[in-house]
Structure 1
Amino acid sequence: MGFREDRKGVPRGLKWGFAAENRIGRAVTPPPRCEQVPVSCRSNGSITVDIFHAPTASAPILLYLPPGPVLPACSQEEERVISTLRESSAATVVRVNYRASSAHQYPTPCHDVLTGYDWVRDNLLLDKFNRPYLARLGVCGELIGGALATMLALTECRLGESRIVAAAVNNPLVDWVFPDDFPVVSPEQLPEPQFGDETALPADDDLADSWTTRKIDQDVPNPEPEPEPKHRKRKPKPPPLTAWQAHGDNAILPTLTLSGERDVLFRRSEHYFDRFASPMHFFRSPHAQLVFPQQDDNFASQQPDVLLDIETQLALNHYSTFDNNMQAAPGVPTLERCRAYARIYPPAGANISLPVWNITTGLQSPLSDQSLELAKMIRRSIARQTLKSHSGRTRWHNAAEKDQYEEFAQGRVQLNAYQGLGLWTQQDHNKDWKQHVEEIGVWMKQRLEPGFT
C-alpha cells in the first residue's frame, strides 16, 4: 500500500498534523539503511521494493533492476553493487524485485517494473508538504534487468513530468529472438517477412540519410577500358562469427542457458517479438519470423477436384505456380530467418525525449553484439530527433550536417567494452567490477543533476 493511500479518509486538519509529525521525524531520526515495501500489482499479486536511502533526503533516485534468473542466485553480490552505486552516485537506490519465472512469465516482468516505477513516482517524489514534484530519475540493470531498464528508459521519458533521464545497462538482453540459432542464409537470399512493416528501408540503413549524403558513383565513360585480369574463382569467404556463435560456450553465461530460459519465461513463441520484452524491436523489425502451419480453412480456396472449363483451369494453374516456388508450411510453428526493416522511434508527435545512455558489455560476452547494435540504434534515433527539433527536417542536407549531429549523439550514448563477460554480479570472474560500477555511479551522479542537459 502506498503512502498516499494510508491517509485516505483522514480529516484535513489531521493530515497537516501527520505531515508535521513526519517532518519532525525526518529531521530527528535518520532514515534506515534499507527499507522493504510491498507493492500491490492489483489482480496479479504483489512485489517488493527495497529502498537503500542516501544520507541526504534530497538525493536523486536511481532505480536498480536485478539481472534475473539467467544467473544463479547472487544476492550478496547484488548488495555490493547497490552499495557501490549508492556511495558513488550519492543517490537513493530503489531495487524493484520484479518476478520472472515459469510461474510469472512475460509480460509479468514488464508489468512489475512499470508498477514499481509508478509506485516510486507516487510515493517517493514528494516534498515536505507531501506534494508531488518533478524529478530526474535514473535506471540501471544488467542482463534481463538491463532489458527492462532499456524498456523503461525508452517509454518513461515524456517531457513535462518526472521521467527517466539517464540509463546505464550492462550486457542487456534486448532481443529474445536469437537468429544465430538458425542456419546461415546469405543476405540476398533472406526471405521477406510475411507482413509489411513500418518502413521499406533495411534495418542497417540510416533513416535520416538522403541522396546528398550517399556516395553515388558517377558513370564516366572510359574510351579504352582495361581488360580485367583473369582470376580463378575462389570460394566465398564464410561470414565472420557473431558474438553469439563465438562466445556461446562460456561457463558462466552459455547460449544454451539463455535459450532455455527463454522457453521458461515465455508462454508462446510470438511473445518474443513484443517490443516491451525485446526493446530492440522499437528500432527495427525482428531478424526472424514465426511461420505457422497451414490452417484448415485455407483449403477452402484450393482447386476443386471437379473438372472445370479450360479458361478457369488455366487461370488456376497460372496462380498455383507462385505457390509451388514457396516453401511448404511447417507442421508446427517454426522460427525462420527473414529480412529486418528499420522502424521510427520515437514516433512522430510523441512528447518523448530520449535519455542519455551508458552501455557496457564484455568482449567475450555472447550478448556483446546486442549491446553494440543497441548503441548504434539509439544514436541514430537521437541524431534524427535532434535534427527534427532544430530544423523541422528528418533528412541530412549534407555530410557535414550529418557528422555534426552524429557527434552530438555519440556524446549522449556512451559505449564501453571490457575484457571477459563484464558482468557486475559475477565478481569472482570480474576483478574490476567495483571500478566499473563506481564509474557508472559517478556518471549517473553528473547526469541526475538538475542543471545537466
Structure 2
Amino acid sequence: MLALTECRYGQPGIVAAALSNPLVDWVSPEGTADLNGNNTALHSDTAVYDFSGIARLRPQLFTKPEKYFDPFASPILFFRSPGYGVPPAPAHVPLDDMTNLSKLEREEAYRREIAVTEIEGPATDMDLPDGDVVQTKRKASKRFPSKALGLKLPHFHISTGMRSPLADQARELTHMLRQSFVRQSKNMTPSSSEFGRKVLLDNEADELNDDEKATLVRQKAEAKKSVELQIHADLGLWDDTPAGKARVSEAAQWLKRELEE
C-alpha cells in the first residue's frame, strides 16, 4: 500500500519494493477472479495451506467489512473493483451514526418502493429485508494511478511459491502493476501521448502498424523488467531455511541495485 501511494513526482518516496507472498486482497481471500468474473481459485493439488487460517484472522483484524474493502487494507482494489457489495457489519458491532443513518435511509427507500408497487398491501416491518444482501458484481478494472494523483510507481520484486495460497494474489498484483507501467510509459504516437491511456485489447493491438506494434512490445518488456515475479517450487517464504535466507539475500541485492541506479 505504501509503495503504491508514497511515490509522488518530485517528492521523497518509495522507489523500489521487494515483496514476499503479498496479501493484497482481504475481500475474497479464498481465491481471486479475473476481470471477466471467471474464478481463478487456487489449485488444490498445489496449495499445501488453505485460506482457513487467514479467513479466521479477518474478523479479528477488521471490525467491519467496510474496513477490509478499503484499498489501503486491500491494495489490489486500487486497480479493480472488489466484485462484491460491502456486507453488513456483524450483529455484535454497534452502528456508528453515519452507518445507522444509511441503514434507515435504505429501509425508508424500501418502504416507498413497496408502497408504489402496491405489492401485498401497505408496508410493515415484516416487509423489510432482514439484512443487506451481498451481491456478486463483475470486477471492473481501474486506471491506477490516474494523472491527477501525480504518482510514479516504484519498481517491484515480487516472490511467491507454487504451493503458496497467496500465489494467485501475487500473479494478479504483478499483472495489474505491469499494465500500469505500460500506461505510464510513452505512448505509441505523438497524438495519443496522454498519461493514463488504456491498455489495448488483443483485437485493438492487431490493428496497430508495425512501428506501433514494436513500441508496444518494447513497453511490455520494460514493464516486465519493472515488475519482476518469481514463483518458487515450494511456498516461497522468506524464513530461516537455507532457501528462505537465499531469497532474502537476493531481494536485498535487488534493492541495492535499484537504489544505485
What TM-score bracket applies, with the shorter chain setting the length?
A: 0.7 to 0.9
1:324 matched residue in structure 2: none
2:218 matched residue in structure 1: 404
Q: 2:31–2:168: 8 Å Cα contact kept in structure 1?
A: no
C-alpha root-mean-square deviation of aligned residues, in Å? 3.3
Paired with 2:153 and 2:181, the residues of 1 have a C-alpha distance of 7
Q: 2:40–2:168: 8 Å Cα contact kept in structure 1?
A: no
2:158 matched residue in structure 1: 359
Q: 2:65–2:87: 8 Å Cα contact kept in structure 1?
A: no
Mapping for residues 17-416 of structure 1, pairs under 5 Å: 151-178=1-28, 180=30, 203=35, 242-243=41-42, 250=49, 254-291=50-87, 295-304=106-115, 316=117, 331-333=130-132, 335-388=134-187, 391=190, 392-393=193-194, 394=197, 397=208, 398-416=212-230
Gaps of 5+ in 1: 1-150, 188-201, 205-238, 305-312, 321-327
SS in 2 for 1:366: coil
Q: Which has the higher strand share?
A: 1
Q: Which has the higher helix share?
A: 2
1:146 matched residue in structure 2: none
Paired with 1:180 and 1:330, the residues of 2 have a C-alpha distance of 28
Paired with 1:300 and 1:331, the residues of 2 have a C-alpha distance of 13
Give the TM-score taking structure 1 as reference length: 0.44
Shift of 1:334: 5.5
Q: 2:80–2:141: 8 Å Cα contact kept in structure 1?
A: yes
Q: Which has the larger radius of gyration?
A: 1
Shift of 1:406: 0.7
Shift of 1:245: 5.4
SS in 2 for 1:370: helix
Paired with 1:403 and 1:299, the residues of 2 have a C-alpha distance of 52
Q: How many residues align?
A: 224
Paired with 1:173 and 1:257, the residues of 2 have a C-alpha distance of 13
Shift of 1:332: 3.7
1:128 matched residue in structure 2: none
How has the CA–CA distance of structure 1 residues 288 and 180 changed in structure 2, closer, same or farther, with 3 Å as cutoff?
Answer: farther
Shift of 1:399: 3.3
Paired with 2:39 and 2:140, the residues of 1 have a C-alpha distance of 22
Equivalent position to 2:231, from 398, 417, 434: 417
Paired with 2:64 and 2:132, the residues of 1 have a C-alpha distance of 10
Identity %: 33
2:257 matched residue in structure 1: 446
Give the TM-score taking structure 2 as reference length: 0.74
Paired with 1:408 and 1:363, the residues of 2 have a C-alpha distance of 25
Shift of 1:420: 1.7
Identify which of structures 1 and 2 has the higher relative contact order when contacts are C-alpha pairs closer than 8 Å and 6+ apart: 2
